[in-house]
């Protein structure tokens, strides 16, 4: 029982470590992102936040949010006590989410930094706060540009020309009167090409909208537009400030996709773990209760328990490998070995499983296949993953072929099945972490086997890929360098 509890604890810890992947994406964002605990303390910040505020990450982790978000004046009619009062984000807590609200951040040296603030409160099914996600853009330059609107036209032109955001002046007929270089870059054209053309988007002072801009090169950019009324050459015009948020939208979509994949992964791995556990528990209970006196049936039950235990062990090993990969602790221990022997031993271990499906596994390995420098256990792990899938997705009565040959300076190994095949739209994602196809052709129960196999092969300096056609089967191929393979990954 103690061993099972320990295994469950390790599994839980490794599932939690999967969240580190999301952390890597967050830290790569160019906009400030802060994640708060339910108590209002800072749990996560990205590099953009540290750069904006002048703090090192360790200086603000665990600090209350009020340390960096300036307190705002309370509305006179506000009488009830508000959660996080004095933190500067009371309105976020009350509303659940806010978008594009101007707030003030405080830097380490006390400088007030105007930001465009968005946030969302994450709650559980009972409405309890689980955390708060805050996203902010530094709008110092934008605020300066807005203030410059009150100065002379010459100053206005100078400021907006140098502004990092796209700035376009549009007259009341919708014709562009001026565009700065950043606007030209956003549209994929020179700024003078925009002048004199109809802007093409509805524009009204005080409005804030998102625009899909089809660039001259046919690529699409996403911009956030804010509009202010101004004077230009003596006429009433509109100043449209355009911020390129294409990258932010891409990252947001990746985060949403990661969250979806992680949820599916947790659901899948929970099922994958429960199935062998239920089987082990059920058969063990029957034997302990003396309900299986026949030695032959006992042996059959014990054999099933042994197989399910091995399956459970492989799942846990996959989770541990995933954790090691993400934390940089994944190691390749190379030695001189015969890849032919590894392939043969792995194929032999699958004879029993293949016979259950009346599937034949053929080896097409030349006797002269040279030895290589590699990690034998890791290469065997790859072969097990590929053969397991090949047998699982083969049609009953078909065959699986394992081939090996020298291909130039590389050793090429292929696992060929004549099974159900893989849809074209799924193949480009097969080696991604957590990926499982959405139909019955899904390969791998937890979505980790092919991901880990790819990391192992690439750590050796090799390549891995797949070719497949629905209804005709699949060929998984990988290469390993002859001689000195790629360096260890630690």
Which DSSP category does 486 fall into? P
Give the residue carrying structure tokens 């005709």.
Answer: 472
Do residue 216 and residue 320 come from a single domain?
Answer: no
For the record, the structure tokens of 186 come out as 């956003």
Residue ending a domain, choose from 194, 226, 244: 244
Nearest in space to 108 (alpha carbons), one of 165, 45, 164, 163: 45
Residue ending a domain, choose from 271, 303, 326: 326
Tell whether the model's pLDDT for residue 35 goes beyond 50.
yes
Do residue 170 and residue 298 come from a single domain?
Answer: no
Task: Kindly write down the DSSP assignment for every residue of 110-142, as one continuous string.
Answer: S-EEEEEEEEEEEE-TTS-EEEEEEEEEE-HHH
Do residue 306 and residue 353 come from a single domain?
Answer: no
Question: Domain for residue 282, yes or no?
Answer: yes
Residues 96-131: pLDDT tens digits? 888 888 899 999 999 999 999 999 998 888 888 888
Do residue 433 and residue 339 come from a single domain?
Answer: yes
Do residue 172 and residue 279 come from a single domain?
Answer: no
Do residue 273 and residue 317 come from a single domain?
Answer: yes
The CATH number assigned to the domain holding 264 equals 1.10.287.130
Tell whether the model's pLDDT for residue 17 goes beyond 60.
no
Question: Domain for residue 25, yes or no?
Answer: no
Do residue 90 and residue 118 come from a single domain?
Answer: yes
Do residue 228 and residue 289 come from a single domain?
Answer: no
pLDDT at 187: 85
Domain that holds residue 282: 253-326
User: Chain-centre distance of CA 9, in angstroms?
Assistant: 24
Which DSSP category does 163 fall into? -
Residue 62 CB burial class (10 angstroms; 0-12, 13-18, ≥19): exposed
pLDDT at 81: 41
- Residue 105, classed as helix, strand or coil, is strand
Q: What is the mean pLDDT of residues 430-458?
A: 68
Q: What is the mean pLDDT of residues 157-186?
A: 84
Nearest in space to 458 (alpha carbons), one of 431, 437, 425, 434: 431
Tell whether the model's pLDDT for residue 264 goes beyond 80.
no
Tell whether the model's pLDDT for residue 93 goes beyond 50.
yes
The CATH number assigned to the domain holding 448 equals 3.30.565.10
Mean model confidence pLDDT for the chain: 80
The CATH number assigned to the domain holding 62 equals 3.30.450.20
Between residues 341 and 259, which one has the greater pLDDT? 341
State the total domains in the chain: 4
Do residue 62 and residue 181 come from a single domain?
Answer: no
Tell whether the model's pLDDT for residue 450 goes beyond 80.
yes
Give the number of C-alpha atoms closer than 13 A to the C-alpha of residue 399, restricted to the C-beta side.
Answer: 8
Do residue 74 and residue 103 come from a single domain?
Answer: yes
Residue ending a domain, choose from 138, 167, 190: 138
Give the residue carrying structure tokens 């992102």.
Answer: 33
Residues 356-389: pLDDT tens digits? 888 999 999 998 899 999 988 889 889 988 998 8
pLDDT band, very low/low/confident/very high, at 148 (cuts 50, 70, 90): low
Do residue 340 and residue 428 come from a single domain?
Answer: yes
Percent of the chain that is helix, strand, coil (3-state, to 5)? 40, 25, 35
Between residues 152 and 69, which one has the greater pLDDT? 69
pLDDT band, very low/low/confident/very high, at 154 (cuts 50, 70, 90): low
Question: Domain for residue 441, yes or no?
Answer: yes
pLDDT at 332: 77
Residues 460-476: pLDDT tens digits? 999 999 999 998 999 99
Tell whether the model's pLDDT for residue 18 goes beyond 80.
no
pLDDT at 178: 87
Do residue 272 and residue 363 come from a single domain?
Answer: no
């Amino acid at each position: 029982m103690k061993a099972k509890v320990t295994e469950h604890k390790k599994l839980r810890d490794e599932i939690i470590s999967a969240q580190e992947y999301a952390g890597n994406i967050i830290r790569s964002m160019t906009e400030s992102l802060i994640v708060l605990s339910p108590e209002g303390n800072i749990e996560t910040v990205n590099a953009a936040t540290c750069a904006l505020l002048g703090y090192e990450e360790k200086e603000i982790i665990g600090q209350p949010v009020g340390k960096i978000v300036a307190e705002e004046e309370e509305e006179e009619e506000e009488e009830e006590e508000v959660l996080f009062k004095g933190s500067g984000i009371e309105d976020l807590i009350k509303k659940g989410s806010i978008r594009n609200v101007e707030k003030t951040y405080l830097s380490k040296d006390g400088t007030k930094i105007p930001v465009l603030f968005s946030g969302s409160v994450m709650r559980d099914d009972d409405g309890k706060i689980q955390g708060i996600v805050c996203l902010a853009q530094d709008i110092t330059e934008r605020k300066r540009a807005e203030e410059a609107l009150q100065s002379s036209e010459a100053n206005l032109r100078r400021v907006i020309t140098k502004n990092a955001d796209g700035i376009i002046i549009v007259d009341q007929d919708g014709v562009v009167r001026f565009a700065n270089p950043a606007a030209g870059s956003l549209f994929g054209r020179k700024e003078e090409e925009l002048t004199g053309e109809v802007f093409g988007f509805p524009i009204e002072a005080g409005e804030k909208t998102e625009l899909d801009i089809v660039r001259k090169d046919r690529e699409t950019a996403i911009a956030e537009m804010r509009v202010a009324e101004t004077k230009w050459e003596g006429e009433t015009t509109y100043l449209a400030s355009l911020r390129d948020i294409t990258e932010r939208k891409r990252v947001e979509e990746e985060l949403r996709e990661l969250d979806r994949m992680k949820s599916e992964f947790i659901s899948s791995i929970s099922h994958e773990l429960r199935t062998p556990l239920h089987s082990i528990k059920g058969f063990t209970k029957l034997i302990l209760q003396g309900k299986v006196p026949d030695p032959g049936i006992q042996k059959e039950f014990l054999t099933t328990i042994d197989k399910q235990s091995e399956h459970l062990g492989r799942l846990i090993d996959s989770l541990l490998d995933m954790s090691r990969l993400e934390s940089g602790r994944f190691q390749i221990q190379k030695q001189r070995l015969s890849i032919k022997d590894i392939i043969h031993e792995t194929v032999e271990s699958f004879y029993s499983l293949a016979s259950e499906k009346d599937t034949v596994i053929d080896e097409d390995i030349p006797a002269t296949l040279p030895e290589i420098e590699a990690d034998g256990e890791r290469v065997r792990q790859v072969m097990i993953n590929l053969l397991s899938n090949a047998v699982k997705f083969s049609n009953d009565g078909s065959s699986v072929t394992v081939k090996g040959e020298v291909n130039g300076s590389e050793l090429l190994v292929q696992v060929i099945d004549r099974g159900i095949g893989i849809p074209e739209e799924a193949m480009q994602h097969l080696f991604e972490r957590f990926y499982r196809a959405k139909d019955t052709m899904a390969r791998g129960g937890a979505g980790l086997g092919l991901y880990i196999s790819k990391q192992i092969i690439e750590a050796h300096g090799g390549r891995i890929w797949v070719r497949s056609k629905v209804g005709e089967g699949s060929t998984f191929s990988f290469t390993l360098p002859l001689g000195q393979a790629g360096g260890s990954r630690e």
